[in-house]
Structure 1
Amino acid sequence: MNDTPNDKPGPWRVMVAGAGAIGCLLAARLAAAGHAVDLLARGRGAQALREHGITLHDLDGTWRVTAGHHSAGLRVLHTPLSAAPEGGPPDLLLLCSKSQDLLALAEAVAPAIGPHTLVLPLVNGVPFWFFHGQGGRFDGRAVQAVDPGGRLLRLLPLPQLLGAVVFITAECTSPGQVQARNPHLLMLGEPAGGLSPRLARVAAMLEAAGIATRPLERIRDKLWTKLVANLTSNPLSVVTRTTLHTIYSDPVLLDTVRAVMHEALLVAAAHGARLEIDPIEFVQLGAAMGAVRTSMLQDFERGRPLELAAIGEAVVELAGLYQLPMPATRTLLSQAAWHAQRRLADAA
């Protein structure tokens, strides 16, 4: 298990690959905390970030970070990289993208990864590393829905990988302009399980920057909790064009929510997850989120590809390994895909 060299007090070198809402939010908080942050962006987005920096509005106030050449602060770099950035490889690489874009992003930043760079993918859904370090008869298997042919497993240095479950909601109103109306929370863990010094150091660094971070001994347990939440809400939000409050409170929609939830919980149990989900409380908490539009609904409204593979198809793939039928989930995913295809056809 490789460890980060940054085990001493002082600024970290952090690379944030992906300048969407989550990437800009993390880059702003880390740069404001005094770390040397390289934010990777493309095209006109990179130019806008260089000129105007990042403005983040969150529950702690407004954070404005300007870009420049730094020993600490924010620097904006273009992707793809042809070599490690000036100053050497980062201590920590944050991969912030939609799951379907992760391979291209990983290929674009691969030259920056050094022998001690910790790699932390921050993506929704079933992660490509799901079977890495797990043990058992599926150990080392690729999840084909999110990593066809296991290309990510071969590209990224698995001994330097940490797992994450992201509980951050944010939205970009324009390049570098970010709104976040809920607390920032990350759950981190070693794919092989247990607590490690490097896990504790990364968590402490993020926590000090204002990102509530919890190191977990069993990262997949919390991952399944998030998967159940995503699977019951994201595709249904596309089909119904409505918010979390309506999804989890409307009696008609609750029939679908409960059917999908029960199927997902069975798959989680088959894969050894220890979940503490009270189905009644789960629905109540979902409704209490209020008039929140899911990230998938936002993507749908903007004509962007949907994360159906990571959030839905991968769960169905995991169910198939234990021959578990998922009729309600399959139907919901097919309906969401139909709406996405219809929108593309209408736009064309």
Structure 2
Amino acid sequence: MNASPLRIGIAGAGAIGCTLAARLAGRGHTVNVLARGETLSAIHRDGIHLSDLDGDHHVRIHASDDAASLGEQDLIFLCTKAPALASLLPQIQPMIGAETVVIPVVNGVPWWYFHGEGGRYDGQRVNAVDPQSILGEALDLRHVIGCVVFITAHCTANAVVESHTPHLMIFGELDNRLSPRLERVRALIESAGIEARATERIRDNLWTKIIANITSNPLSVITGATLDQLYSLPELQELVRTCLHETLLTAAAHGARVSIDPQTFLELGASMGAVRTSMLQDYEKGRPLELAAIGDAVLELADYMAIPMPVTRHLIALARFRGDQACH
């Protein structure tokens, strides 16, 4: 990444992609969005609208469904569901130059988890999220900076987004260095009015998000419950607490330090209010569920350390059953 104004690409124009596009373009940055279908038409016609805690933002940006027409970017945010990465990464190759930084903004265990990790499984592929090595072969990981995003947003229409919680993004090099390009990414996001942090231990923050996802998403599909219900109703909280403890043990076995204690975690979850998880929203729309990255990959990491996760395993299986029924 050079010192001149950055060319910023956003691949995927869902709630998170549009949030980033609106905040960055609204602060004068050059943003190019890779989108398709009705969302692309909406962006061409009306631009992107975002309503968040800082007010209403309306931006007009360059968008296309052809990566080659967008050209080489300095920085690319991959804002898509984890299952879509295998088809997306080959598409964005025309946007990637020798020094392009690629930041996956994706839920669950990332395919890059063991790259540069330095432990027993350094370099290991996470089979649940990259079973055929498509992701590993499509992108040289020297381009990648890890990201954990704490932004709760939803689309009320194509390219129209609402968010009612604070925005936070945490970035880290896969090999835990504090590099100049890492600091530039952090400063860029901060300049867009989003709280941004750089860390030497990105996997610690990643596990915090993994725990939030795995304790809420599958159970929400099974029950239809919102976050405040999942984390506070006694009949659901006991399941959440057991899943939380199983996942914390797995995180610790892989050397992660999760700073939030279990009770605080439950209280924070309950304080989110009547929010429907992204997986519940996908289930209600008959879309595929992100169970491979949010669930199966965690079970895979537990298996590496011979840690049983019986309750979590059953919750994932039940959510998969419900998801398969909805898709058919």
Give runs of aligned pairs for residues 33-182 of structure 1, distance below 5 A: 33-66=27-60, 74-79=61-66, 81=67, 83=68, 85=70, 88-182=71-165
Q: SS of 1:202's equivalent?
A: helix
Q: Which residue of 1 aligns with 2:255?
A: 272
The answer to whether the Cα contact below 8 Å between 1:234 and 1:295 also exists between their aligned partners in 2 is yes
Q: SS of 1:323's equivalent?
A: coil
Cα-to-partner distance string for 1:154-199 (whole Å, 9 max, x where unaligned) = 2112111100001011111111111111111101000100311110
Given the alignment of the two structures, is residue 32 of structure 1 paired with residue 26 of structure 2, yes or no? yes
Q: State the AA in 1 paired with 2:270.
A: A
The answer to whether the Cα contact below 8 Å between 2:288 and 2:327 also exists between their aligned partners in 1 is no
Give percent identity, aligned residues only.
54
Q: SS of 1:149's equivalent?
A: coil
- 2:219 aligned residue (228, 236, 240): 236
What displacement does 1:146 show? 0.7
Cα-to-partner distance string for 1:63-95 (whole Å, 9 max, x where unaligned) = 1112xxxxxxx201114x3x363xx51110010
Given the alignment of the two structures, is residue 223 of structure 1 paired with residue 214 of structure 2, yes or no? no
TM-score (norm 1): 0.92
Deviates more, 1:141-150 or 1:12-21: 141-150
TM-score (norm 2): 0.97
- Matched residues in 2 for 1:150 and 1:343: separation? 29
Q: Which residue of 1 aligns with 2:246?
A: 263
- Matched residues in 2 for 1:206 and 1:342: separation? 40
What displacement does 1:343 show? 2.0
Structure 2 residues without counterparts, runs of 5 or longer: none
Q: SS of 1:287's equivalent?
A: helix
What displacement does 1:283 show? 0.9
What displacement does 1:111 show? 1.5
What displacement does 1:112 show? 1.1
Cα-to-partner distance string for 1:106-143 (whole Å, 9 max, x where unaligned) = 11111210001100000000001000111233111111
The answer to whether the Cα contact below 8 Å between 1:133 and 1:191 also exists between their aligned partners in 2 is yes
- Matched residues in 2 for 1:178 and 1:312: separation? 27
The answer to whether the Cα contact below 8 Å between 1:242 and 1:293 also exists between their aligned partners in 2 is yes
- 1:202 aligned residue (136, 160, 185): 185
Cα-to-partner distance string for 1:6-38 (whole Å, 9 max, x where unaligned) = x25xx3210000011111111111111111111
Q: SS of 2:57's equivalent?
A: strand
- Matched residues in 1 for 2:223 and 2:26: separation? 40
Q: Which residue of 2 aligns with 1:70?
A: none
Q: State the AA in 2 paired with 1:117.
A: T
Runs of 4+ that moved beyond 3 A: none
Counting matched residue pairs gives: 328
